[in-house]
Chain A
Amino acid sequence: DVKVTQSSRYLVKRTGEKVFLECVQDMDHENMFWYRQDPGLGLRLIYFSYDVKMKEKGDIPEGYSVSREKKERFSLILESASTNQTSMYLCASRTQGAPETQYFGPGTRLLVL
């Protein structure tokens, strides 16, 4: 079974702090994704990565950056956390090509005070 893990289930940070959210997958997937989920807005794509050291902006990249130094790990960085970044963050991975299924981690609920 594919396993996608996220470093924290719950995180509380202060405004202005630098925040790292880590995601690790164990199936050698090429593609990895970071989403945020907010009530009434569904899932919105922040960044994604096709392969190591490659990254592409999603729909809402402002205030975020990412790092993919190893194939299994995709990090989301909030350079200076703000209260409007309080949200549920979901990581996902998939293989290049078929099947097109994305496998999700359990999510990190981030609260920025």
Chain B
Amino acid sequence: SQQGEEDPQALSIQEGENATMNCSYKTSINNLQWYRQNSGRGLVHLILIRSNEREKHSGRLRVTLDTSKKSSSLLITASRAADTASYFCATDAGNTGKLIFGQGTTLQVKP
């Protein structure tokens, strides 16, 4: 079952602009993670935010989590052409180690 739903499905921006992607989920979580996937490749972990955290930063990435709304957002600031990729949120809801992935947002950054 798909827990995370991402919005928008696709996003196209100019280099230098900020990109915001949103993720909604349905059940209580332990943490929420964001991953990036370049075309035809495996996923790479970007950032993890725990259920008791509200905001986290890593370089040009900013993640927020609102557990009352069951939603998260990923902000990429000052985007670069190299940020072009698909971005997935994934929720960790229990002690099984399983992640449930959303369908992803495809980001295109035009030079």
A and B associate in one complex: yes
Task: Tell me whether B111 is interfacial, beta carbon within 8 Å.
Answer: no
| B43/A104 in contact, CB under 8 A | yes
Give chain A's interface residues, CB within 8 Å of chain B: 4, 31, 33, 35, 40-45, 48, 50, 56, 58-59, 88, 90, 92, 94, 96, 99-107, 109
A100 near B31: Cβ-Cβ < 8 Å: yes
The winner among B41, B42, B92 for most chain A CB atoms within 10 A is B42
Q: Interface range on chain B: under 10, 10 to 19, 20 to 34, or 35 or more?
A: 20 to 34
Q: How far is the CA of A92 from the CA of B35 in the complex (A)?
A: 13
Closest A-B pairs by Cβ, 5 of them: A104-B42, A42-B103, A43-B101, A104-B43, A101-B45
Q: Which residue of A lies closest to B41 (CB)?
A: A106
Secondary structure of the A side of the interface?
strand
B48 touches A101 (CB 8 A): yes
Spell out B's residues near A (CB within 8 Å): 1-2, 30-31, 33, 35, 40-45, 48, 88, 90, 92, 96-104
Pairs across A and B, CB under 8 Å, 17 listed: A33-B98, A42-B88, A42-B101, A42-B103, A42-B104, A43-B43, A45-B100, A48-B96, A92-B42, A94-B97, A96-B97, A100-B92, A100-B97, A102-B33, A104-B42, A104-B44, A107-B41
Contact (Cβ within 8 A) B1 A59: yes
Contacts of A42 in B (CB 8 A): 2, 88, 101-104
A42 CB, min distance to chain B CBs, angstroms: 4
Is A90's CB under 8 angstroms from B97's CB? no
Q: Is the CB of A43 within 8 A of B88?
A: yes
Choose one: A4, A44, A45; the contact of B42 (CB below 8 Å): A4
